[in-house]
């Protein structure tokens, strides 16, 4: 049994929530978590409770963005036509674009 934890509001986190996902869904979740800079628990809890995800730029987030962009670049080089882009890749590109746009606004870079 896992150890009880206190959250930021002093509440005990003693309940476990588990669910099954496909390998593709797992990779999508992991990519979103990496790009957020949050822990997986914090990210999933905020998403499930429909709370805002705020990404604070830090070296960990920038490294995750660089790695994801490298994967996307390699995949786009492989694809010959626009029709070859699958929905998972499109969703990842959109997530990265939103994240980078938010970081741009945070730092007020033109």
What percent of the residues of the chain are helix, what percent strand, and what percent coil, each to the nearest 5?
A: 60, 5, 35
The Cα–Cα gap between 105 and 56 comes to: 11
pLDDT in tens, the chain (110 residues): 556 677 777 888 888 889 999 999 999 999 999 989 899 999 999 999 988 888 877 888 888 888 888 888 887 777 766 566 778 888 888 888 888 777 766 655 44
Is residue 74 a part of any domain in this protein?
A: yes
Coil vs helix vs strand at 13: strand
Number of domains the chain is built from: 1
Is residue 76 a part of any domain in this protein?
A: yes
Is residue 61 a part of any domain in this protein?
A: yes
Is residue 78 a part of any domain in this protein?
A: yes
pTM for the whole structure = 0.61
Is residue 77 a part of any domain in this protein?
A: yes
H or E element, residue 67: helix 59-78
What domain range is 100 assigned to? 22-107
The Cα–Cα gap between 82 and 7 comes to: 45
Is residue 7 a part of any domain in this protein?
A: no
């Amino acid at each position: 049994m896992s150890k009880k934890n206190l959250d930021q509001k002093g509440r005990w986190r003693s309940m476990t929530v588990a669910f099954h996902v496909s390998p593709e869904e797992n990779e999508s979740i992991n990519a979103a978590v990496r790009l957020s800079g949050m822990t997986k628990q914090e990210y999933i809890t905020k998403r499930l409770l429909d709370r805002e995800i705020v990404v604070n730029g830090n070296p960990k987030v920038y490294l995750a963005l660089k790695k994801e962009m490298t994967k996307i670049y390699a995949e786009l080089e492989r694809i010959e036509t626009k029709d070859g882009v699958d929905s998972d890749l499109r969703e990842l590109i959109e997530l990265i674009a939103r994240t980078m746009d938010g970081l741009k606004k945070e730092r007020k870079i033109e």
